[in-house]
Amino acid sequence: MSIEDRLKAIGLEIPRGVSAAADYVPATLHNGTLYVSGQIPRVGTEVKYVGRVGVDCTLADAKAAAQICAARILGVARDFLGSLDRVQRVLELTVYVNADASFTEPSAVADAASDVMVKAFLQAGTHARSAVCVAQLPKGAMVEVSAILAV
Amino acid sequence: MSIEDRLKAIGLEIPRGVSAAADYVPATLHNGTLYVSGQIPRVGTEVKYVGRVGVDCTLADAKAAAQICAARILGVARDFLGSLDRVQRVLELTVYVNADASFTEPSAVADAASDVMVKAFLQAGTHARSAVCVAQLPKGAMVEVSAILAV
Amino acid sequence: MSIEDRLKAIGLEIPRGVSAAADYVPATLHNGTLYVSGQIPRVGTEVKYVGRVGVDCTLADAKAAAQICAARILGVARDFLGSLDRVQRVLELTVYVNADASFTEPSAVADAASDVMVKAFLQAGTHARSAVCVAQLPKGAMVEVSAILAV
C-alpha cells in the first residue's frame, strides 16, 4: 500500500498546492532536514475548524482539526519533495491547541496528528512531540501543527 | 546594497551586543544550523513594547515590536557569525504574540518579522513559520520571536 | 565528577525509562541532532506539579517543576544514547509555562531548567532558549520543556 493509499483508507486526502502567504514559505530544507510551517485546518481557502476547545468546541472537533493540519503537512512535504517516499523520518511535531485553561488534554488532540504520521510512514512516522494550549491561533483556528522531517 | 543598508533604508538598525542572561546564550551552532534564542522587543536594556494585543495595545504596536525582535535576531546572528553574509537561509521563525483570545491575527504580527528577514536576505530570507498567541511573555513583552538559520 | 554526580550534588536524580504514549516517542535522531519530546514534571506516573502560575501556584513551584522537566530530558537522552557523555551541546530549550497573564516571568522559570543543563554539561550545557506562558498544558502540568541536543 502506498502512503496515500494508507491515508485514503482512513478517509484522509492529502491536499495539493498548500501555499503560504506573504514572505514565508510552506517549507525550507537544509542538510536533509525539512522545516514545515505551522498548518491550520484549512480546506481549500476556508479554515474549516475555528474555535477554542473548552469554550465553543469539543475534543472531537479539535482532533478532526489536527488531522487536517497533519494532512496539510504531508501535502507541503509532497509538493516540496516531489514524493513522500523521500521522507526518512518524522523528527518532531509541535501541536498548538486553541483552548482556555479548562482544557488539559492537548495531548489527546495531538494524538490525532501523530496518528496520521504513523499511518503514513509506519515506524518512520513516530516522532518527538510537544503539545500545548495557546490563547489564540491565526484566523481563530482550533489547532496549528508544525513539523520537522528528515529527508 | 549591503544587508545593513537595506535595513537602514526601512529605518531599522541592527543592534550590537545582544546578550542573554543566566545560563542560556543568544545562539548555538551545530552542523551549519544556527539556533537563535527567542528575542523580545528590547532596545538597549528597556523592553520597548509591553502589553497584550486585544487588551492594551494594537496590531500596529505589535508589528513594530515584531520588527525589533527580528532586528535583534539579525544582531545575534551577526555577532555570532562575524557577518550576516554567512547566513545562507532563514529556515524557520516561531512568533509568539502576547494576546488574549479576542485577537486572531498573530500572522499579521508575524508578517512584520518575516518582512525584515526578506528585506535583509531577499529570497534567502523566506522561511517556514509558526505564529501563535500566548498567555504572557517575559517582562510582559508584546512579541517574542525565535529563529533557526542555515549558515 | 560525572554528569550524574554533579546532578546528585544538587539533589537531582535522572529518571530511568521515561516513555511516551501513543504514536510519539521520547526522542528522534537525525544527522547528529537529537529532538527530545516536551517533558512535563512527572515523577513515575504522577504529574507532581500541576497548576497555573499566577493563579494557584508560585514561581518557586514552577521552578521545581522545570527542574524535573530538565531531568527528564536528560533521562530521555541517556536512554536513547546509552550515555550522556555522547551529548556534545545543548542546542535549544523551549520552555512553556502554564500561567495566566498576571505572570510575566517565564524566564525565571526557564532558568531552573537551564541551570540543570549547565550543571550537567558545564559550558556545553549553555543553549539558545525561548520561554513563554501558555493557556494550559497536558494533564494540567505547570511546565513543559522540549530540547534539541547535538550528539
- The C-alpha of A96 sits at a distance from chain B's nearest C-alpha, in angstroms, of 8
Residue where the block lists cell 562575524: B82
Nearest to C37 among A102, A117, A130 (CB): A130
pLDDT in tens, A62-82: 999 999 999 999 999 999 999
**Taking the model in full, what pTM does it have?**
0.95
Residue where the block lists cell 496515500: A4
Contacting residues for C126 by C-beta, under 8 A, at least 6 apart: B23, B24, B25, B28, C90, C117, C118
Taking an 8 Å Cβ-Cβ cutoff, which residues of chain C contact chain A? Answer: 20-28, 30-31, 33, 35-38, 52, 55, 94, 96, 100, 134-140, 144, 146
Per CB-CB distance under 8 Å, the chain B contacts of C101 are 52, 55, 100, 135-136
Nearest to C37 among A90, A101, A129 (CB): A129
Q: Distance between CA atoms of C93 and C144, rounded to whole angstroms?
A: 10
Nearest to C136 among A111, A118, A133 (CB): A133
pLDDT band at A21 (very low <50, low <70, confident <90, very high): low
CA contacts within 13 A on the Cβ side of A48: 15
- Look at residues B144, B113, B108 and name the one whose alpha carbon lies nearest to residue B127: B113
User: Which residue ranges of chain C lie beneath pLDDT 70?
Assistant: 20-22
Contacting residues for A31 by C-beta, under 8 A, at least 6 apart: B31, B32, B33, B150, C31
pLDDT in tens, C87-119: 999 999 999 999 999 999 999 999 999 999 998
